[in-house]
């Protein structure tokens, strides 16, 4: 494993013609780095525009916005399969494809189009956390380290050989957004170096050890509801993993309250799990299943704006002893 990739490595090696597949903001730094390096990106393939937000306004994927700003052709098929779609991609005569958080499983007929294969930027140190939600799962598990892998896609779920990796530390105070943003930038730099060296034939792919594999399946809504019977550290990790979106939550007076900025609080009590112990400068103090307390710094009750927990508590009656659902 490359604990820390060498900056500047392979900087003068040429870049091959590329088809870039990506959709959300995690993919934007990788596309931006390729463009800035002068890579011949022949086509950007991304998901169709979709409704988003409360108003369900039709929005373009983040990758599409960058591609159009830089004059790269964009293609938005519903699925990357079928002869018409594959022929349109093949006609661009690219040597390889790069996939970053695209959101579809690609068929073997697509992978067979490229002489240099299809490189994927994955937000974990494979074979750990194969699957759709590697960053959130690592935070949920309380991991202190994660990383980025550049791998060659095959027909399996993140099972292809690894070309390079870079380890990244997770600070216990970090939330999903901060880890996500750091990994996206680390992945972009590592992709550029790896792509140059792979095209030059100076990297030997390394097969993954399937016996060491762990998995990161898609997140389920039920996982976002806080179980106050869990130990304090587990509840903090749940809040961190879903901060800022979609937000871990509890119920108060029948309304959903999302919570953010959780931290350990130096107090142990005899209250029940989910019982409010009070409000401090750091936020709402709540007892967890192991009798340890945590503070929640910010909350967002449905129908209202996000606010600091102290302000939230001042606007309604949450006396000590209140049980959160």
What CATH number is given to the structural domain containing 302?
3.10.25.10
Between the CA of residue 182 and those of 22, 187, 303, what are the distances in Å? 17, 8, 32
**How does the average pLDDT of the chain come out, rounded?**
93
| pLDDT at residue 194, as a whole number | 98
Same domain, yes or no: 207 and 230 = no
User: Once rounded to an integer, what is the mean pLDDT over residues 260-266?
Assistant: 94
3 within a domain of the structure (yes/no): no
118 within a domain of the structure (yes/no): yes
| pLDDT at residue 149, as a whole number | 98
What CATH number is given to the structural domain containing 27?
3.40.50.170
Q: Which of 191, 212, 233 is the last residue of a domain?
A: 212
Same domain, yes or no: 191 and 228 = no
Name the pLDDT band for 9 (thresholds 50, 70, 90). Answer: low
**In this model, does residue 215 exceed pLDDT 90?**
yes
- Through-space distance between the first and last CA atoms of the chain, rounded to whole angstroms: 44
325 within a domain of the structure (yes/no): no
Q: Which residue has the higher pLDDT, 52 or 307?
A: 307
Q: Could you report the per-residue pLDDT of 191-214, keeping only the tens digit for each?
A: 999 999 999 999 999 999 999 999
Q: Could you report the per-residue pLDDT of 27-53, keeping only the tens digit for each?
A: 999 999 999 999 999 999 999 999 887
Same domain, yes or no: 93 and 158 = yes
169 within a domain of the structure (yes/no): yes
Residue 80's domain comprises 18-212
Rounded distance, CA 249 to CA 255, Å? 10
Same domain, yes or no: 184 and 232 = no
| pLDDT at residue 109, as a whole number | 97
Contact between 275 and 325 (Cβ < 8 Å): no
Same domain, yes or no: 147 and 68 = yes
Measuring CA to CA, which residue among 264, 260, 215, 216 is closest to residue 242?
A: 260
Q: How many domains are there within the chain?
A: 2
Same domain, yes or no: 279 and 297 = yes
**ω into 38 cis (within 30 of 0):** no
User: Once rounded to an integer, what is the mean pLDDT over residues 105-130?
Assistant: 97
Q: Which of 183, 212, 241 is the last residue of a domain?
A: 212
Q: Could you report the per-residue pLDDT of 83-106, keeping only the tens digit for each?
A: 999 999 999 999 999 999 998 999
| pLDDT at residue 310, as a whole number | 80
Same domain, yes or no: 246 and 175 = no
Structure-block tokens of residue 179 = 């880890």
What is the C-alpha radius of gyration for the chain, rounded to an integer number of angstroms? 22
Rounded distance, CA 122 to CA 100, Å? 7
**In this model, does residue 8 exceed pLDDT 60?**
no
Contact between 124 and 147 (Cβ < 8 Å): yes
Same domain, yes or no: 50 and 196 = yes
| pLDDT at residue 325, as a whole number | 86
Same domain, yes or no: 85 and 35 = yes
Same domain, yes or no: 206 and 252 = no
7 within a domain of the structure (yes/no): no
Residues with Cβ < 8 Å from 71, sequence gap 6 or more?
none
Task: For the chain, give the percent of residues with pLDDT over 90.
Answer: 81
324 within a domain of the structure (yes/no): no
Q: Is the pTM of this model over 0.85?
A: yes
**In this model, does residue 167 exceed pLDDT 50?**
yes
């Amino acid at each position: 494993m490359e604990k820390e990739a060498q900056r500047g490595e392979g900087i003068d090696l040429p870049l091959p013609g590329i088809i870039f597949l990506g959709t959300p903001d995690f993919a934007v730094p990788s596309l931006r780095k390729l463009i800035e390096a002068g890579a011949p990106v022949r086509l950007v393939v991304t998901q169709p525009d979709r409704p988003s937000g409360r108003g369900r306004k039709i929005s373009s994927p983040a990758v599409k916005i960058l591609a159009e700003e830089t004059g790269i052709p964009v293609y938005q098929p519903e699925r990357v399969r079928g002869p018409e779609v594959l022929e349109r991609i093949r006609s661009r005569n690219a040597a390889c494809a790069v996939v970053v958080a695209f959101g579809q499983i690609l068929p073997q007929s697509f992978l067979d189009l490229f002489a240099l294969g299809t490189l994927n930027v994955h937000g974990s140190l494979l074979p750990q956390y194969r699957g759709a939600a590697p960053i959130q799962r690592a935070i949920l598990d309380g991991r202190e380290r994660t990383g980025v892998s550049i791998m060659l896609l095959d027909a399996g779920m993140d099972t292809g050989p690894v070309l390079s990796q870079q380890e990244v530390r997770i600070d216990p105070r970090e939330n999903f957004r901060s880890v996500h943003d750091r990994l996206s930038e680390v992945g972009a730099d590592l992709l550029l170096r790896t792509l140059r060296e792979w095209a030059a034939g100076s990297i030997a792919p390394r097969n993954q050890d399937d016996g060491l594999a762990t998995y990161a399946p898609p997140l389920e809504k039920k996982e976002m509801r806080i179980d106050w019977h869990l130990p304090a550290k587990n509840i903090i990790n749940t809040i961190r993993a879903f901060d800022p979106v979609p937000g871990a939550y509890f119920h108060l007076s029948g309304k959903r309250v999302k919570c953010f900025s959780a931290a350990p609080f130096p107090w142990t009590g005899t209250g029940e799990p989910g019982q409010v112990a009070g409000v401090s400068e750091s936020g709402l103090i709540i007892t967890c299943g192991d009798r340890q307390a945590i503070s929640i710094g910010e909350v967002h009750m449905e129908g209202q704006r996000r606010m600091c927990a102290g302000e939230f508590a001042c606007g309604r009656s949450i006396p000590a002893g209140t049980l959160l659902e």
